[in-house]
Every structure is written in structure tokens, then in C-alpha cells.
Amino acid sequence: MTANATPGDGLYERVAAAAAHVRGRLGGRAPTIGLILGSGLGGWADRLGDPVTIDYGEIPHFPRSHVEGHKGRLVVGTSGGATCVAMQGRVHLYEGHPAALVAFPARVLVALGARTLIITNAAGGLRPEWAPGTLMVIRDHLDMLRDHPLRGPNDDRLGPRFPDMTRAYAPELRALVKDVAAARGVAIQEGVYVAMPGPTYETPAEVKMLQGMGADATGMSTVPEVIVANHMGARCIGISCITNKAAGITGEPLSHAEVTETATRVRAEFEGLLDGVVAALAAPAAAGGAA
């Protein structure tokens, strides 16, 4: 297994090798939309038409996930007129991988041709008024992780040394998600996601700090992938499923079971939203077009 994925040490070649392996299994199909599906949200990929499924273990240099509810496989197939590549499961920093390796699969999705990434996660709600099951389109993020996926030498073939993050979550795509949600009668909030290292959930004191910093939802993923996608010039959509109120808001202890239960409860609504977003992205005139 690859212990290190720091730019400048062959990262470009490893991304190319992983993408070449996947491409070789696709019979000429080229995905234009990539999806990274979070805890309990991976079922959407089972609905793809004409699917090709590849276990992460078969892809050179790919990290593997071990968390319950994360399947650890890539599914390429069609939805809403677009060819999509979806990740069922991802690895997290708390598993011990460096951020550059956590974000490696996102680079492979972009290298395969996905110029738009849809990144989903389960998150704790920092707004007391948001009930578990609330969906949130990510407007921006705060990075509280203790590693950065671009730390180390930069490879200019992948992207610039100092990437701009002003539009890390593309404004036109946030508008598209909100339009699709409105058309489907799905309530959706918009807010700031903060990435925390985990694997502990936050303390109530940390929750107060994060609220004061301007965050609306807290989780343990997404930010490394959004950073490398922006580094490579891809556009990102982030959608959080608020699975629980963050620690201390209700006084009740948090559990992973609660997280997956809520994700399962909103599954149909969430998957319908993804169907609509993918179809809207695939439509030729949509927000600059993704397909």
C-alpha cells in the first residue's frame, strides 16, 4: 500500500496509473460527474444504469476504508443522461492516512474526466433549530484538520502552488442544487461545514467554539477532497446530511448508530435530490454544463 501521497514524490504518476486502471475497465466510457458518497449515503450508486463496479483494493495506490457503512468500491454507470463515477465509501484522516492519501481518490475521479464532483457527508448540526435529517448545501468550509493534502512540494501538472478557494463550492452549482431541491419539494439549508479530525465527536466546548467561528455543520471528511478537486480545476458541490445535533445541544450522548439511522431515514429524499442534481448537470445548458 502507498504510505505517502505527497505532491512531488510521484503523485502525478500514481494518479495517472490509478485512472488508467479504471479507464481500462470502462470500455471507452468516460465519466463527467464524480460523486463521493458519505456514511449511510452510498446506496445512490446502486441505482446507476449499466454499472461497472471496481473494489478499491483492485485500483493501484487507492486507500481502503474500514468504517461500517462504507463499502469501499467505485461504481461507474449512467444517471440522468450522464456517465457518473461514484465512490461508495471513503477513507478519513482518523484512520491514520495522510490528508494527501485521503484525497487521492478525488484526484483519480478528476483525472478520469469528472470536471464536477458532488461530495456528500453525514454531519452534526451546529444550529440548534436544525432537526436531524436536515440537508445542507455547503457554501464554504473551515479546515480544522491537522494535515493538508497539498503540504509538500507542488506538482504543477496537477495544479498551482497556491490555489484560490474563493469559489471552492461553485456558486452556480449551489444555485443549481437549491433550484433542484425547490422543484422536488425538498427542504434544503445552506451553510459552512467545518472539518474536524475525529474520531471522537466534538466536546460541547468545541461545539460552542465552532458555532462562534461561523460554522453550521461539523464532520470528519470532505475538505481534503474539495481542496484537491479545486487544485485540479474541478468544480465542487458539497451536501451534508445533518444526522444529529452536535454534542451538548441536546445533552444526549452521540453515537455512530444515530448517524447511520438518520442517513437511512432520509435516504429516499437524498437520493432523489442527487438524481435531480445529476440530471440538471447533464442538461446541455446547465450552469456551464458538466457533461
Residues touching ligand HPA, count (CB under 6 A): 14
Catalytic residue status for 196: no
The active-site residue, picked from 221, 225, 234, 247, is 221
Residue 85: name the closest of 174, 22, 129 by CA.
Answer: 22
Q: Would you give the binding string for ligand HPA spanning residues 262-281, x where CB under 6 A is met?
A: --------------------
Please provide residue 77's backbone torsions phi and psi, each rounded to the nearest 5 degrees. Answer: -170, -175
Contact status: 116 vs ligand HPA (CB under 6 A): no
Instruction: Please report, for residues 28, 55, 92, 122, 268, the alpha-carbon distance to residue 113 in angstroms, rounded to integers and kept in the order given.
Output: 12, 19, 24, 26, 28
Min dist CB 2 to ligand HPA, Å, is 26
Tell me how crowded residue 133 is: count the other CB atoms within 10 A of its CB.
Answer: 17
Q: Which span (44-52, 121-129, 148-156, 181-189) binds ligand HPA, by CB under 6 A?
A: 121-129
Q: Which span (46-54, 90-98, 119-127, 281-289) binds ligand HPA, by CB under 6 A?
A: 119-127
Catalytic residue status for 39: yes
Longest pairwise C-alpha distance within the chain: 53
Catalytic residue status for 92: yes
The active-site residue, picked from 122, 136, 181, 280, is 122
The active-site residue, picked from 17, 94, 148, 261, is 94
* Distance separating alpha carbons of residues 260 and 89, to the nearest angstrom: 13
- 229 and 115 in contact (C-beta within 8 Å)? no
Contact status: 130 vs ligand HPA (CB under 6 A): no
The active-site residue, picked from 5, 39, 45, 193, is 39
Contact status: 219 vs ligand HPA (CB under 6 A): yes
**DSSP SS3 for 137:** strand
Catalytic residue status for 16: no
Catalytic residue status for 66: no
Sign of CA dihedral 183, 187, 193, 195: negative
Min dist CB 125 to ligand HPA, Å, is 8
Contact status: 37 vs ligand HPA (CB under 6 A): no
Nearer to ligand HPA, 219 or 224 (CB): 219
Please name every residue paired with 124 in a beta bridge, in sequence order, or none if there are none.
Answer: 218, 244
Contact status: 158 vs ligand HPA (CB under 6 A): no
Min dist CB 201 to ligand HPA, Å, is 5
Catalytic residue status for 70: yes
Helix or strand (DSSP H, E) at 226: helix 223-231
Q: Which span (7-15, 67-75, 117-125, 130-138) binds ligand HPA, by CB under 6 A?
A: 117-125
Q: Would you give the binding string for ligand HPA spanning residues 178-207, x where CB under 6 A is met?
A: ------------------x----xx-----
Sign of CA dihedral 252, 214, 221, 150: negative
- 255 and 249 in contact (C-beta within 8 Å)? no
Please provide residue 274's backbone torsions phi and psi, each rounded to the nearest 5 degrees. Answer: -60, -40
Q: Catalytic residues, which ones?
A: 39, 70, 92, 94-95, 122, 220-221, 244, 256
